[in-house]
Structure 1
Amino acid sequence: MVRILDKAAVEPRRRFSLANTIIIRQSPNRTRLASIRLRIPVLNAQPNRVELVATVGVRGVTGIAQILFRIFRDGVEIFNTVQGIESAASEQNYAVTFQAIDRNVRSGSHVYTVTAENQTRNTRADVVGPISFSGLAVRTTS
Protein backbone atom coordinates (compact mmCIF):
# COMPACT_ATOMS: atom_id res chain seq x y z
CA MET A 1 0.00 0.00 0.00
CA VAL A 2 1.24 3.51 -0.81
CA ARG A 3 0.21 6.96 0.39
CA ILE A 4 0.88 10.09 -1.66
CA LEU A 5 3.07 12.58 0.21
CA ASP A 6 3.49 15.23 -2.52
CA LYS A 7 3.52 15.68 -6.27
CA ALA A 8 4.87 18.30 -8.66
CA ALA A 9 5.16 18.78 -12.41
CA VAL A 10 6.45 21.40 -14.82
CA GLU A 11 6.25 21.74 -18.57
CA PRO A 12 8.59 24.56 -19.63
CA ARG A 13 7.97 23.72 -23.30
CA ARG A 14 4.71 22.22 -24.50
CA ARG A 15 5.56 21.47 -28.11
CA PHE A 16 8.26 20.84 -30.69
CA SER A 17 9.64 24.01 -32.30
CA LEU A 18 12.63 24.59 -34.57
CA ALA A 19 12.14 28.34 -34.21
CA ASN A 20 13.03 28.38 -30.50
CA THR A 21 15.86 25.92 -29.79
CA ILE A 22 18.37 25.65 -26.94
CA ILE A 23 21.87 24.42 -27.75
CA ILE A 24 22.93 21.65 -25.34
CA ARG A 25 26.21 22.81 -23.83
CA GLN A 26 29.42 20.79 -24.06
CA SER A 27 30.55 18.85 -20.96
CA PRO A 28 31.49 19.69 -18.29
CA ASN A 29 28.99 22.55 -18.70
CA ARG A 30 25.31 21.72 -18.32
CA THR A 31 22.05 22.99 -19.76
CA ARG A 32 19.37 23.24 -17.05
CA LEU A 33 16.07 21.95 -18.41
CA ALA A 34 13.58 21.95 -15.52
CA SER A 35 13.20 21.92 -11.73
CA ILE A 36 10.50 20.87 -9.30
CA ARG A 37 10.13 21.10 -5.52
CA LEU A 38 8.75 18.25 -3.41
CA ARG A 39 8.07 18.22 0.32
CA ILE A 40 8.49 15.15 2.49
CA PRO A 41 6.58 15.57 5.80
CA VAL A 42 8.24 15.00 9.17
CA LEU A 43 5.66 12.51 10.45
CA ASN A 44 4.63 9.19 8.90
CA ALA A 45 6.75 9.55 5.77
CA GLN A 46 9.22 6.65 6.08
CA PRO A 47 9.89 4.48 4.17
CA ASN A 48 9.31 6.47 1.00
CA ARG A 49 10.28 6.89 -2.61
CA VAL A 50 10.18 9.74 -5.09
CA GLU A 51 9.32 8.68 -8.65
CA LEU A 52 10.71 11.10 -11.25
CA VAL A 53 9.89 11.16 -14.98
CA ALA A 54 11.40 13.48 -17.59
CA THR A 55 10.75 13.87 -21.31
CA VAL A 56 12.96 16.07 -23.48
CA GLY A 57 12.60 16.75 -27.21
CA VAL A 58 16.07 16.81 -28.80
CA ARG A 59 17.27 17.37 -32.39
CA GLY A 60 20.64 16.28 -33.77
CA VAL A 61 22.30 19.16 -35.67
CA THR A 62 25.85 17.90 -36.45
CA GLY A 63 27.51 14.52 -35.96
CA ILE A 64 26.34 11.92 -33.46
CA ALA A 65 26.13 13.59 -30.06
CA GLN A 66 26.14 11.63 -26.81
CA ILE A 67 23.84 13.54 -24.47
CA LEU A 68 24.24 12.97 -20.73
CA PHE A 69 20.99 13.62 -18.84
CA ARG A 70 21.30 14.03 -15.07
CA ILE A 71 18.85 14.42 -12.21
CA PHE A 72 19.96 16.22 -9.05
CA ARG A 73 18.34 16.38 -5.60
CA ASP A 74 19.36 19.56 -3.78
CA GLY A 75 22.42 19.88 -6.03
CA VAL A 76 23.61 16.28 -5.61
CA GLU A 77 23.42 13.96 -8.61
CA ILE A 78 21.15 10.97 -7.98
CA PHE A 79 20.67 9.61 -11.53
CA ASN A 80 22.12 9.81 -15.03
CA THR A 81 21.66 8.26 -18.44
CA VAL A 82 23.18 8.78 -21.91
CA GLN A 83 21.33 8.98 -25.21
CA GLY A 84 22.96 9.05 -28.65
CA ILE A 85 21.45 11.69 -30.97
CA GLU A 86 22.12 11.40 -34.73
CA SER A 87 21.95 14.38 -37.06
CA ALA A 88 22.00 13.57 -40.77
CA ALA A 89 21.04 10.64 -43.03
CA SER A 90 18.93 9.16 -40.27
CA GLU A 91 16.65 10.22 -37.45
CA GLN A 92 17.17 13.79 -36.26
CA ASN A 93 14.31 14.38 -33.81
CA TYR A 94 13.98 12.45 -30.57
CA ALA A 95 11.67 12.47 -27.57
CA VAL A 96 13.93 11.12 -24.83
CA THR A 97 12.03 9.84 -21.77
CA PHE A 98 13.61 8.45 -18.61
CA GLN A 99 12.53 7.57 -15.08
CA ALA A 100 14.41 7.59 -11.77
CA ILE A 101 13.48 6.50 -8.26
CA ASP A 102 14.92 8.21 -5.18
CA ARG A 103 14.41 6.07 -2.05
CA ASN A 104 14.03 7.02 1.62
CA VAL A 105 14.37 10.76 1.17
CA ARG A 106 14.70 12.67 4.45
CA SER A 107 11.90 14.98 5.55
CA GLY A 108 11.88 18.57 4.31
CA SER A 109 11.64 20.43 1.03
CA HIS A 110 13.76 19.13 -1.85
CA VAL A 111 14.52 20.59 -5.28
CA TYR A 112 14.94 18.13 -8.15
CA THR A 113 16.60 19.40 -11.33
CA VAL A 114 17.12 17.75 -14.70
CA THR A 115 20.03 18.82 -16.93
CA ALA A 116 21.63 17.84 -20.25
CA GLU A 117 25.18 18.06 -21.55
CA ASN A 118 26.84 17.06 -24.80
CA GLN A 119 29.77 14.70 -24.20
CA THR A 120 30.97 14.50 -27.83
CA ARG A 121 33.31 17.15 -29.25
CA ASN A 122 32.52 18.71 -32.65
CA THR A 123 28.87 17.70 -32.51
CA ARG A 124 25.74 19.67 -31.76
CA ALA A 125 22.32 18.76 -30.42
CA ASP A 126 19.53 21.18 -29.52
CA VAL A 127 16.55 21.00 -27.22
CA VAL A 128 13.52 21.58 -29.47
CA GLY A 129 10.76 20.61 -27.05
CA PRO A 130 8.66 19.48 -25.48
CA ILE A 131 10.17 19.42 -21.98
CA SER A 132 8.27 17.94 -19.04
CA PHE A 133 9.46 16.89 -15.59
CA SER A 134 7.32 15.41 -12.83
CA GLY A 135 7.78 13.89 -9.41
CA LEU A 136 5.58 11.87 -7.10
CA ALA A 137 6.59 11.27 -3.47
CA VAL A 138 4.89 8.30 -1.83
CA ARG A 139 5.12 6.55 1.51
CA THR A 140 5.59 2.82 1.05
CA THR A 141 4.99 -0.07 3.40
CA SER A 142 7.95 -2.15 4.57
Structure 2
Amino acid sequence: MARLLNKSAVQPRSRFNLLTAYTIRRSPLRSHVASLRISIPTNSQPNRVELVATVGVRGITGIGQILFRVSRDGTEIFNTVAGIESTGSEQNYIVTFQAIDRNVPTGSHLYVLTAENLTPHTIVNVVGPVSFSALAVKTG
Protein backbone atom coordinates (compact mmCIF):
# COMPACT_ATOMS: atom_id res chain seq x y z
CA MET A 1 0.00 0.00 0.00
CA ALA A 2 1.29 3.47 -0.91
CA ARG A 3 1.67 6.15 1.76
CA LEU A 4 1.53 9.87 0.93
CA LEU A 5 4.86 11.63 1.53
CA ASN A 6 4.27 15.07 0.04
CA LYS A 7 2.43 16.96 -2.68
CA SER A 8 2.93 20.15 -4.63
CA ALA A 9 1.07 21.96 -7.42
CA VAL A 10 1.31 25.17 -9.42
CA GLN A 11 -1.09 26.80 -11.84
CA PRO A 12 0.69 29.70 -13.55
CA ARG A 13 -2.23 30.14 -15.97
CA SER A 14 -5.77 29.34 -14.87
CA ARG A 15 -7.56 29.95 -18.17
CA PHE A 16 -7.28 30.26 -21.94
CA ASN A 17 -6.18 33.80 -22.84
CA LEU A 18 -4.89 34.94 -26.24
CA LEU A 19 -3.80 38.30 -24.82
CA THR A 20 -1.17 36.73 -22.53
CA ALA A 21 -0.01 34.00 -24.96
CA TYR A 22 3.67 33.44 -25.62
CA THR A 23 5.43 31.61 -28.42
CA ILE A 24 7.21 28.32 -27.75
CA ARG A 25 10.85 28.75 -28.76
CA ARG A 26 12.46 26.80 -31.59
CA SER A 27 14.66 23.88 -30.59
CA PRO A 28 17.34 23.72 -29.27
CA LEU A 29 16.05 26.69 -27.23
CA ARG A 30 13.39 25.92 -24.65
CA SER A 31 10.48 27.83 -23.17
CA HIS A 32 9.91 27.53 -19.43
CA VAL A 33 6.31 26.46 -18.81
CA ALA A 34 6.16 25.69 -15.07
CA SER A 35 8.22 24.51 -12.13
CA LEU A 36 7.58 23.19 -8.67
CA ARG A 37 9.53 22.01 -5.65
CA ILE A 38 8.79 18.88 -3.60
CA SER A 39 10.59 17.43 -0.58
CA ILE A 40 11.23 13.75 0.06
CA PRO A 41 11.60 12.94 3.78
CA THR A 42 14.22 10.57 5.20
CA ASN A 43 13.39 6.88 5.47
CA SER A 44 11.03 7.02 2.48
CA GLN A 45 12.54 4.46 0.11
CA PRO A 46 11.24 2.99 -2.13
CA ASN A 47 9.13 5.85 -3.47
CA ARG A 48 7.80 7.47 -6.58
CA VAL A 49 6.84 11.01 -7.57
CA GLU A 50 3.85 11.13 -9.89
CA LEU A 51 3.90 14.26 -12.05
CA VAL A 52 0.95 15.52 -14.10
CA ALA A 53 1.20 18.43 -16.55
CA THR A 54 -1.51 20.19 -18.54
CA VAL A 55 -0.65 22.87 -21.09
CA GLY A 56 -3.09 24.77 -23.30
CA VAL A 57 -1.50 25.54 -26.69
CA ARG A 58 -2.60 27.11 -29.98
CA GLY A 59 -1.20 26.43 -33.43
CA ILE A 60 -0.50 29.69 -35.28
CA THR A 61 1.25 28.54 -38.49
CA GLY A 62 1.97 25.10 -39.93
CA ILE A 63 1.94 21.86 -37.95
CA GLY A 64 4.32 22.21 -35.04
CA GLN A 65 5.87 19.28 -33.20
CA ILE A 66 6.23 20.38 -29.56
CA LEU A 67 8.71 18.54 -27.35
CA PHE A 68 7.73 18.73 -23.68
CA ARG A 69 10.49 17.88 -21.18
CA VAL A 70 10.38 17.30 -17.43
CA SER A 71 13.62 17.56 -15.48
CA ARG A 72 14.49 16.96 -11.84
CA ASP A 73 17.32 19.12 -10.49
CA GLY A 74 18.53 19.83 -14.05
CA THR A 75 18.45 16.22 -15.32
CA GLU A 76 15.80 15.24 -17.84
CA ILE A 77 13.62 12.39 -16.57
CA PHE A 78 10.81 12.39 -19.15
CA ASN A 79 9.82 13.77 -22.54
CA THR A 80 6.97 13.51 -25.02
CA VAL A 81 6.03 15.11 -28.35
CA ALA A 82 2.65 16.53 -29.39
CA GLY A 83 1.67 17.61 -32.91
CA ILE A 84 -0.22 20.90 -33.02
CA GLU A 85 -2.11 21.96 -36.15
CA SER A 86 -2.97 25.56 -37.02
CA THR A 87 -5.29 27.59 -39.28
CA GLY A 88 -7.49 25.56 -41.59
CA SER A 89 -7.84 22.89 -38.90
CA GLU A 90 -8.15 22.63 -35.13
CA GLN A 91 -5.97 25.30 -33.49
CA ASN A 92 -6.51 24.95 -29.74
CA TYR A 93 -5.28 21.96 -27.76
CA ILE A 94 -4.95 20.83 -24.17
CA VAL A 95 -1.88 18.60 -23.85
CA THR A 96 -1.92 16.49 -20.67
CA PHE A 97 0.60 13.85 -19.68
CA GLN A 98 1.87 11.99 -16.63
CA ALA A 99 5.46 11.09 -15.72
CA ILE A 100 6.65 8.88 -12.88
CA ASP A 101 10.01 9.43 -11.17
CA ARG A 102 11.02 6.38 -9.09
CA ASN A 103 13.26 6.17 -6.00
CA VAL A 104 13.83 9.90 -5.65
CA PRO A 105 16.57 10.69 -3.11
CA THR A 106 15.85 12.33 0.24
CA GLY A 107 15.76 16.15 0.14
CA SER A 108 14.19 19.00 -1.77
CA HIS A 109 13.91 18.64 -5.55
CA LEU A 110 13.05 21.10 -8.32
CA TYR A 111 10.95 19.77 -11.20
CA VAL A 112 10.85 21.93 -14.32
CA LEU A 113 8.51 21.62 -17.31
CA THR A 114 9.75 23.08 -20.62
CA ALA A 115 8.55 23.08 -24.21
CA GLU A 116 10.36 23.52 -27.52
CA ASN A 117 9.15 23.59 -31.12
CA LEU A 118 10.96 20.99 -33.25
CA THR A 119 9.45 22.06 -36.60
CA PRO A 120 10.98 24.89 -38.67
CA HIS A 121 8.69 27.63 -40.02
CA THR A 122 5.87 26.89 -37.57
CA ILE A 123 4.56 28.85 -34.61
CA VAL A 124 2.83 27.41 -31.56
CA ASN A 125 1.81 29.53 -28.57
CA VAL A 126 1.10 28.67 -24.95
CA VAL A 127 -2.36 30.14 -24.32
CA GLY A 128 -3.35 28.40 -21.08
CA PRO A 129 -4.46 26.97 -18.88
CA VAL A 130 -1.21 25.55 -17.42
CA SER A 131 -0.96 23.32 -14.37
CA PHE A 132 1.83 21.13 -13.02
CA SER A 133 1.51 18.88 -9.98
CA ALA A 134 3.56 16.31 -8.07
CA LEU A 135 2.49 13.63 -5.62
CA ALA A 136 5.21 11.75 -3.72
CA VAL A 137 4.33 8.37 -2.24
CA LYS A 138 6.24 5.67 -0.40
CA THR A 139 5.67 2.42 -2.24
CA GLY A 140 7.08 -0.21 0.08
Q: Which TM-score tier does this pair reach, normalised by the shorter chain?
A: over 0.9
Are 2:17 and 1:42 equivalent residues in the alignment?
A: no
Q: Please name the residue that 2:2 is paired with.
A: 2
Letter in 1 for 2:23: I
Give, in whole Å, the separation in 1 of the partners of 2:29 and 2:116.
7
Letter in 2 for 1:3: R
- 1:88 is displaced (CA, Å) by 1.5
Q: Please name the residue that 1:51 is paired with.
A: 50
Q: What SS does structure 2 have at the residue aligned with 1:10? A: strand
- 1:69 is displaced (CA, Å) by 0.2
- Cα distance per residue 1:16-70 (max 9 Å; x no partner): 0111101000000000011111111112x01000000000000000000000000
Give, in whole Å, the separation in 1 of the partners of 2:88 and 2:35.
34
Letter in 1 for 2:27: S
- The within-5 A match list for 1:122-141 is 122-141=121-140
Q: What SS does structure 2 have at the residue aligned with 1:6? A: strand
Give, in whole Å, the separation in 1 of the partners of 2:111 and 2:96.
16
- 1:121 is displaced (CA, Å) by 0.4
Q: What SS does structure 2 have at the residue aligned with 1:19? A: helix
Normalising by structure 2, what TM-score?
0.99
Q: Please name the residue that 2:81 is paired with.
A: 82
Give, in whole Å, the separation in 2 of the partners of 1:37 and 1:27.
26
Q: Please name the residue that 2:20 is paired with.
A: 20
Q: Please name the residue that 2:108 is paired with.
A: 109
- The within-5 A match list for 1:55-74 is 55-74=54-73
Instruction: Give the aligned CA root-mean-square deviation in angstroms.
Output: 0.5
Give, in whole Å, the separation in 1 of the partners of 2:81 and 2:36.
22
Letter in 2 for 1:35: S
Q: Please name the residue that 1:31 is paired with.
A: 31
> Percent identity between the aligned chains?
66
Aligned pairs, number: 140
Q: Please name the residue that 2:119 is paired with.
A: 120
Where in structure 2 are there 5+ consecutive unaligned residues? none
Q: What SS does structure 1 have at the residue aligned with 2:111? A: strand
Normalising by structure 1, what TM-score?
0.97
